[in-house]
Amino acid sequence: MTPDALKKRVTEEFNDMGLLKCLDVETSVFGELPRLFEVSHLSMRLVLDNMAAVAAASSIAAQIKRDLERQGVELEYEIRVRWKVVNVYSEAQERCGDYDDMPSETFHAEVESGSAKRDMSIHVSTGARAYIRQYLDQVPPEHRQDTIHTLLKICLNHKLSGRGEYWDPILYASCNVEVQDVAQVVESGVDLEERELIPGG
C-alpha cells in the first residue's frame, strides 16, 4: 500500500461513518518510513477537528493496522486533536493601563474542540514577559490588557494547531509560553489590536 492509497482508505472510512468533516485531511500526514526488517513501513498522523471523533478514529486506525499486518506491512499511527482557545484571562490581575503590572506568571485559558472544553493553566516565562513588556511600549495604555491576552491566545493556538510542536490539553493541564513563542507572533507582523476584533482570532 502506498501513502496515497492509505490516505484514500482513511478518507473513505471516515466518510462511511459520517465523520469526514471531523478529519482535517490537509493537515493529516501519510508517509512511508524506511523498511523495517525488509517489511514495508508506513506512518500516518490523523488530525481531528473534534474531540468526539477520537474513539472512531482510533478504531479505524487500529483496524487498518491489523489489515496491513496481514499483508506484511507495518503501520505506525498517531491521532491528534485540534483545540482552539476560546478565552485567555488572569484572575489575579486588575484591568489597568500600567503595563508594569501586566505579568503575573500564570494565566488561564479555556480551550475547546467540538463540544469538549478544558480550562488550562498557562505559565509565561521570564523572558517571554520581558519581550511582551518591550512590545507594549508601542501600544496605547488602554489597549495593553487586551493586547496581552490576544498575544497569548495566538501563541497558544499555534501550539494547539497540530503542526510542529504539539500541546495536548488532555495529557497536559498546563502549557509554557517561551520568549520564542512570543517573538514568532510579534515578528510575523500580526496586528494584535485588529486580531482582537476577529471572533475566535
Structural contact between residues 112 and 86, judged by C-beta atoms closer than 8 angstroms = yes
> Measured between alpha carbons, how far is residue 9 from residues 20, 43, 67, 122, 135 in Å?
12, 14, 12, 39, 48
Query: What's the confidence (pLDDT) of residue 10?
Result: 97
Structural contact between residues 109 and 91, judged by C-beta atoms closer than 8 angstroms = no
Domain end: 59, 81, 103, which one? 81
Number of compact structural domains in the chain = 2
- 61 is a domain residue: yes
Query: What's the confidence (pLDDT) of residue 198?
Result: 32
CA distance 145 to 176: 20
- 44 is a domain residue: yes
Query: What's the confidence (pLDDT) of residue 172?
Result: 85
- 179 is a domain residue: yes
Please count the CA atoms within 13 angstroms of the CA of 194 that sit on its side-chain side: 3
Query: What's the confidence (pLDDT) of residue 199?
Result: 32
- 176 is a domain residue: yes
Residues of the chain falling short of pLDDT 70: 36-38, 91-104, 162-165, 189-201
Query: What's the confidence (pLDDT) of residue 165?
Result: 64
Domain of residue 77 covers 3-81
**Is the pTM value of this prediction over 0.85?**
no
Query: What's the confidence (pLDDT) of residue 160?
Result: 80
